[in-house]
Chain A
Amino acid sequence: MPSNYPGFRYGADRETFSAAKVKALESLLIEKGVITGDTVDTVLGYFETEMGPFNGARLVARAWVDPAFKELLVTDCNAACEAMDFPEGMSGAEGEHMRIAENTPEVHNVIVCTLCSCYPWPTLGLPPYWFKDPTFRARVVREPRVVLSEFGVELDESVTIKVWDSSAQIRWWVLPMRPPGTEGMSETELAALLTPEAMMGVATVSV
C-alpha cells in the first residue's frame, strides 16, 4: 500500500515560498557581483544545446551500426565521445570520467547513485526526478528486478541484472540493446528511439 508520501508535487504555498526565496537569493547575488544577470540562463541554455541526452542517443545509435565504435564506447567512453563530431566539452563537467555498461540478451544494467545523484552530464544531461528520489536509490540496490518491473521492464529470470552505483568519480550510463525491426534505419532515426530512461537501464527501446 502506498503511504501518504507526497511524491514530487507539493502545495502551492510551499512552491510560492521557494520561488520567492530563490528569486530573492539570485537577485541579491547579482547585485553583489557574485554572478551576473545572465549567469543562470547561461547555465540552463548550455544544458538545452550542448550537454543532454541527445548526445548519448547519438553515441548509442553509432554503436548500434558500427561494431568497432561500440567496442571503443564500452572500453573508453570519453575516447568515443572524442571520435564524434561533438562540440568541445564532452569530457567537461561531470563527464571527466564516464563508463557505459552494455546490455545483452544475458545481462541487463541499471545505474543508481545511492548517496545522491551522480550522473554523466555530457551524455545524458541532468537526471530526472525519479533518479534523485530516495525511494529509487534505496530500493534498486537490493531489489532491482522488482523496481524494474515497476518501470514496466520485465526481464526473464535467466537475465543477470547488474546495478552500477557511483560513490566515487566515475559517471555511469547504459548502452541499451538495439530493438528488432530497426534494420535499415539511419543513425538519426535510431537516435530518435532513445530515451534517458533507456540509457539509464529502466526502459527498453522499441520501435
Chain B
Amino acid sequence: MKLQHNLGGLEGLDPITPEIEVFVEPWEKRIFGIHTAMMALSNHLDESIPDYDIEGVPTTFKSFWTWGHLRMGAEGMHPFEYFRLRYYEKWLGGISGFFVSEGYITQEELDARTAEFLEDSEKAEAPLPSGGEKAIDDQVVKYLREGDSPMRPLPAPPKFSLGERVRIKNVFPAAHSRLPGNLKGCVAEVVKVYEGAFTYFFPTADGIGVPMPVYSLAFKPEDLWDESLIEPQSIYYNDIFEVYIEAV
C-alpha cells in the first residue's frame, strides 16, 4: 500500500499553510519548463487529436513522457521522502532520473556539472547555453495552444447510468493509479456520465490508459468516513474512470 495513494482523510495534520506563490524559489520555474517541454515533445503525440508532426520536430527527445510518468515517480518514492520533499523537488528528482535512465545524460555528468556550479559561483550565475532549433520551441507553443485531448470514441456503451448507485472496486493500484485509495469499497451516485470516452495515455496496471467512460460520482460523507469524523452539509465529488467502478 502506498501512502501517496491514500492521502484523503489523513488525520493529525497541521493547519493549512496558505502560500499563494506558484513557485517559491526561482529554480522551480526551470524544472516546470523542462517538464512542459517533455510533455510537448513526447513521442505519443503522433497519435494525438491535434495534428502534431512530432517525428519531424528536430529534438533529440524521442521518449514517451506524460503526467502518468511524472506521477508514477512521485508515487513510487519512499513515502517519508515524498512528504519531506517540496513539490518541485520531487519533479527535479524524477525528471533528472528519467533523463539518466533513458540515456540522454549520465548521472556522472549531471553530478559533475552540479558540483561545478556549487563550487564556482561565477559559473553558477553565467547564462545558459544559447541556440538550438527554433522548431522545437514552435512545437512547445503549439502543444500549449492545442493540448492533448484524451477524449476518444466510446468503445462500448457506458456500463452505468445517471442516478445509479455504484461502488468503487477494491483494485490493487500497483505503481501508479488514478483512484484515491480511501474511496475503495465506498458507494456513490452517478451524477454525470461524461460524453465520449477518455484515455489516460499511460497504461497502468490497474487498467486505465485505454479509452473508457468517466463518471462524475457524488459521495455522501457518511459513506466515506466514520460518523465521528464527518462534516455535515458537505458532498464530495470525483471524476472516476469506469474500470474502477462496479455495480452495487
Q: Which residues of A come within 8 Å of B, CB atoms?
A: 2-3, 5, 7-10, 15-44, 46, 50-51, 88-89, 91-97, 114-117, 125-130, 132-139, 141-147, 150-151, 157-170, 196-197, 202
Contact = CB atoms under 8 A, between A and B. Distances in A.
Contacts of B145: 50, 88-89, 92-93
B234 A160 contact: yes
A40 B37 contact: yes
B214 interface: yes
B238 to A, nearest CB: 4
Nearest to B113: A24
B97 to A, nearest CB: 10
20 contacts: A3-B14, A18-B89, A19-B26, A19-B124, A29-B105, A33-B132, A33-B133, A35-B61, A43-B33, A92-B143, A92-B144, A93-B40, A96-B147, A115-B71, A139-B16, A147-B16, A160-B233, A163-B235, A163-B236, A168-B241
Nearest to B110: A24
A22 to B, nearest CB: 5
Contacts of B133: 33, 36
Nearest to A116: B71
B187 interface: no
B32 interface: yes
A18 B25 contact: yes
Interface of B: 4-5, 7-10, 13-22, 24-27, 29-34, 36-37, 39-41, 58-61, 67, 71, 74, 82-83, 86-87, 89, 92, 95-96, 99, 104-105, 109-110, 113-118, 124, 128-134, 136-137, 140-141, 143-151, 177-180, 182, 194, 198, 200, 214, 216, 221, 224-225, 229-241
Given A23-B124, A42-B137, A126-B32, A142 B231 contact: yes
A90 to B, nearest CB: 9
A169 B36 contact: no
Nearest to B59: A34
A40 B34 contact: yes
A46 B147 CA distance: 14
Contact of B236 (A22, A31, A139, A141): A141
Which 10 pairs between the two chains have the least Cβ-Cβ distance?
A36-B132, A40-B33, A24-B113, A89-B145, A20-B117, A19-B27, A168-B239, A37-B130, A129-B19, A138-B10
Nearest to A1: B14
A9 B224 CA distance: 34
A169 B199 CA distance: 9
A2 to B, nearest CB: 5
